[in-house]
Amino acid sequence: MHPPTFGTPAQDLRVRTAAFEWLAEQVAIHGEVLPWKVIARGFDLDGRRVPLVSQQGIFKPAVLAEVPLSIRTSPEGPYDDSFSAGNLLRYRYRGTDPREPDNVRLRQAMARRAPLVYFHGIAPGRYLAAWPVYVVADDPGGLTFTVAIDDVAYSGLGAADEIAEPRREYITTTFRRRLHQQAFRERVLAAYRRQCALCRLRHVELLDAAHIVPDVEPSGEPVVRNGLALCKLHHAAFDKLFIAVRPDYIVEVRRDVMEESDGPMLLHGLQGLHRQRIVLPRDPVKRPDREHLAWRYERFRKAG
């Protein structure tokens, strides 16, 4: 026997609000990038399980009557093709028929101003979530919907909002930056087998992807060869030029830091790294670019 659905607007919004609150809790636990098994399992509401995704990109759980709860982009999709010139999200139809049932449901979401969740895959089994998102335009000729990301404070169904458009454009642009940052982090951590290249710490929550050449520089691209997987301590030390990685992949600690005496953290956390070889990706193609390391090392030498 199938569980009853939430048919009224108030009941529908209750499911969506519960989903948003649950997602915020999961991000607090797992970080911004959520594993597939967590979002596919979903949460329980009134004894019913509410998954947030399925293998279909446009997903409506059984507890909802008509309008989908989430949309999803696969990790294989190119980022730039997913955004319009106005920095709003372009979401492809399912298939090529505008009358396909999932496309019709997403059109209903637009008509009802229903808040959805958007999951963007940045690595296999790893998704960056944004909520609430709204379908704001439909282009049957281009087989795409236009989607804007908003603030959770504006997630009420049919809420009138005179400044929604500029706010949503700004928030969607911010999400796009986060997307690129998190994609860079996932690629770098995967290359280094999810450990700090200096101390081998494996707690992913404490790991960052550090740029060798900063992203404000022309050559500071978010590619694996311009990244190092570092724990938060060593990322900060690397950014502040307390330590460097030479082009031969050997760590060097700044002379004045080596001469300090400031307890066991300094001794083991920094000084003990001097002249040690870093952990490298197994794939030679993903190892740090030696020219980038030389550029960074020259800055380090001048700081010392």
- The helix/strand/coil state of 181 is helix
Residue 79 has pLDDT above 50, yes or no: no
Pair (222, 176) in one structural domain: no
pLDDT at 80: 42
Final residue belonging to a domain, choices 131, 161, 187: 187
Pair (215, 76) in one structural domain: no
- Number of structural domains (the chain) is 2
CA–CA distance, 157 with 221 (Å, rounded to integer) = 40
Which of these ranges, 32-41, 59-68, 102-111, 144-153, has the smallest mean pLDDT?
144-153
Residue 81 has pLDDT above 70, yes or no: no
Q: Distance of CA 242 to CAs 22, 250, 257, Å? A: 40, 14, 7
Pair (236, 164) in one structural domain: no
Residue 180 lies in a domain: yes
Pair (45, 111) in one structural domain: yes
3-state secondary structure 231-283: EHHHHHHHHCCCEEECCCCEEEECHHHHCCCCCHHHHHHCHHHCCCECCCCCC
Residue 101 lies in a domain: yes
Final residue belonging to a domain, choices 127, 162, 187: 187
Pair (37, 79) in one structural domain: yes
Residue 1 lies in a domain: no
Q: Which helix (H) or strand (E) holds 210?
A: strand 207-211
pLDDT at 108: 96
Final residue belonging to a domain, choices 163, 187, 211: 187
Which tops the pLDDT comparison, 224 or 167?
224
Angle at 10 between CA 8 and CA 12, to 5 degrees: 70
Pair (106, 29) in one structural domain: yes
Contact 208, 268 (CB under 8 A): no
Residue 2 lies in a domain: no
Pair (73, 150) in one structural domain: yes
Residue 272 lies in a domain: yes
Pair (95, 16) in one structural domain: yes
Please give the model's pTM, rounded to 2 decimal places: 0.78
Pair (156, 277) in one structural domain: no
Pair (199, 228) in one structural domain: yes
pLDDT at 76: 66
Mean predicted confidence (pLDDT) in 181-196: 94
Residue 27 lies in a domain: yes
Pair (117, 173) in one structural domain: yes
Which of these ranges, 58-67, 202-211, 254-263, has the smallest mean pLDDT?
254-263
CA–CA distance, 243 with 271 (Å, rounded to integer) = 9
Pair (178, 217) in one structural domain: no
Mean predicted confidence (pLDDT) in 80-91: 74
- The helix/strand/coil state of 107 is helix
Residue 59 lies in a domain: yes
Residue 114 has pLDDT above 90, yes or no: yes
Residue 4 lies in a domain: no
Range of the domain at 232: 194-303
